[in-house]
């Protein structure tokens, strides 16, 4: 039997995991401090649980209880906070139209070494936009890549917006966070050809790079931050710089669009 707890005071400290879900800097602090992340909507909650993230609590409007019945029954010790929709809105700062939220413990599902066992890996340096992180994850998973590594300061793949934009692929694609510094040595030691995606005079075209690959060759694609692109240190760490030729005076693609083009072309 699920542990239902009715709450009618928005200041109730048991709801503290769910405050200010739209405030990125507050959430970054709070989620890091508490070692949690938030999943939104019954489908995403189910996928997070199936991926092995242990739940800490749920926050539901009453009409969503039935929808999650069988899930709740599996976690009789996890409190389920039942609230009015207006109270949920007050606490979270937005209308929770998917009706259900869960706070889950951040556990490391994969290590960097696990991800390096793959053959095709995307590596992100310091992206700041959670929408881009989520879209890259969706692209990498959807185009059959094996894993993702994010730099020490890259935006959080488990932030609510990243999860949503990834369409839950963050729960299936193996990913891990790198220690600081450029990853060239680590990737090469694991047998990868390290390809930096950047617009540079010395770059080869994406089509040329894809055509040059031998069967079975392991490829790691480095993609850079939205404004400045890859740092000099990461660029210098690559075996090859690869560009997608641009036209019509447009200087670059959005990083997620670049990831989709490159993941597809490299195959
Ligand atoms: C918006 S771009 C940054 C552009 C930045 N001004 C630069 O010169 O790299 C973000 C990332 O997307 C990738 N990217 C975007 N367009 C690209 C292209 N045409 N060729 C190769 N990589 C590209 C690169 O990895 C880049 O670091």
Average pLDDT, the chain: 95
Q: Is the model's pLDDT at 11 over the cut of 80?
A: yes
How far is the C-alpha of 127 from the C-alpha of 155, rounded, in Å? 6
User: Which segments within the chain are labelled E, that is strand?
Assistant: 3-6, 36-40, 55-61, 79-83, 100-105, 120-124, 147-150, 175-177, 192-197, 204-205, 218-223, 240-243
Specify the pTM: 0.94
How far is the C-alpha of 78 from the C-alpha of 210, rounded, in Å? 49
Region of poorest pLDDT, from 63-67, 129-133, 242-246: 63-67
The CA 227 to ligand 1 mean position distance, Å, reads 9
> Per residue in 93-122, pLDDT tens?
988 777 799 999 999 999 999 999 999 999
User: Which distant-in-sequence residues (6+ apart) come within 8 Å of 259 by Cβ?
Assistant: 122, 135, 136, 139, 140, 197, 221, 223
Helices 255-266, 130-142: crossing angle, 10 deg rounding? 10
Which of 128, 205, 224, 262, when mutated, tests ligand 1's pocket best, judged by the most ligand atoms within 8 Å of its CB?
224
Q: Is the model's pLDDT at 38 over the cut of 90?
A: yes
The CA 224 to ligand 1 mean position distance, Å, reads 7
Pocket of ligand 1 (CB under 6 A): 197-199, 223-224, 226, 229-230, 243-244, 246, 252-255, 258
> Per residue in 51-68, pLDDT tens?
999 999 999 998 888 889
State which ligand 1 atom lies nearest to the alpha carbon of 255.
12
Q: How many C-alpha atoms does 88 have within 13 Å on its Cβ side?
A: 21
Neighbouring-strand partners of residue 126? none
pLDDT confidence of residue 75: 94
pLDDT confidence of residue 99: 77
Q: Is the model's pLDDT at 149 over the cut of 90?
A: yes
Q: Is the model's pLDDT at 2 over the cut of 80?
A: no
108: exposed, middle or buried (Cβ count in 10 Å: 0-12, 13-18, 19+): exposed
Q: Is the model's pLDDT at 181 over the cut of 80?
A: yes
Distances, alpha carbon 210 to alpha carbons 64, 195, 229, 238, in Å: 48, 11, 21, 16
Task: Check residue 4 and give left, alpha or beta (phi > 0: left; psi -120 to 50: alpha).
Answer: beta
Region of poorest pLDDT, from 94-103, 121-130, 142-151: 94-103
User: Is 222 in contact with 196 (CB distance < 8 Å)?
Assistant: yes
Q: What percent of the chain has pLDDT over 90?
A: 90
The CA 70 to ligand 1 mean position distance, Å, reads 45
User: Is 147 in contact with 119 (CB distance < 8 Å)?
Assistant: no
Which of 252, 257, 260, 262, when mutated, tests ligand 1's pocket best, judged by the most ligand atoms within 8 Å of its CB?
252
State which ligand 1 atom lies nearest to the alpha carbon of 200.
8
Which of 250, 255, 257, 261, when mutated, tests ligand 1's pocket best, judged by the most ligand atoms within 8 Å of its CB?
255
State which ligand 1 atom lies nearest to the alpha carbon of 196.
25
């Amino acid at each position: 039997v699920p542990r239902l707890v009715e709450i009618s005071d928005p200041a109730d400290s048991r709801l503290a995991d769910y405050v200010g879900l739209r405030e990125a800097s507050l959430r970054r602090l709070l989620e890091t401090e508490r070692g949690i992340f938030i999943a939104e909507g019954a489908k995403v909650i189910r996928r997070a649980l199936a991926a092995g993230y242990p739940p800490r609590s749920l926050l539901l409007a009453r009409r969503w209880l039935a929808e999650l019945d069988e899930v709740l029954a599996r976690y009789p010790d996890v409190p389920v906070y039942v609230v009015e929709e207006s109270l949920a809105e007050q606490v979270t700062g937005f209308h929770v139209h998917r009706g259900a939220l869960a706070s889950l413990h951040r556990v490391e599902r994969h290590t960097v070494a696990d991800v390096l066992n793959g053959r095709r890996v995307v590596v992100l340096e310091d992206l700041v936009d959670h929408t881009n992180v989520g879209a890259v994850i969706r692209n990498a998973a959807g185009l059959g890549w094996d894993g993702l590594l994010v730099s020490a300061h890259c935006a959080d793949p488990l932030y609510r917006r990243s999860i949503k934009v990834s369409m839950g692929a963050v729960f299936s694609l193996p990913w891990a966070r790198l220690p600081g510094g450029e990853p060239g040595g680590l990737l090469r030691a694991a047998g990868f050809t390290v390809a930096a995606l950047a617009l540079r005079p010395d770059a080869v075209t994406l089509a040329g790079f894809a055509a040059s690959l031998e069967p079975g060759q392991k490829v790691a694609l480095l993609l850079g931050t939205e404004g400045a692109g890859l740092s000099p240190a990461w660029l210098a760490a690559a075996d090859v710089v690869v560009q997608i030729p641009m036209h019509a005076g447009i200087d670059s693609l959005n990083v997620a669009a670049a990831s989709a083009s490159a993941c597809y072309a490299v195959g």
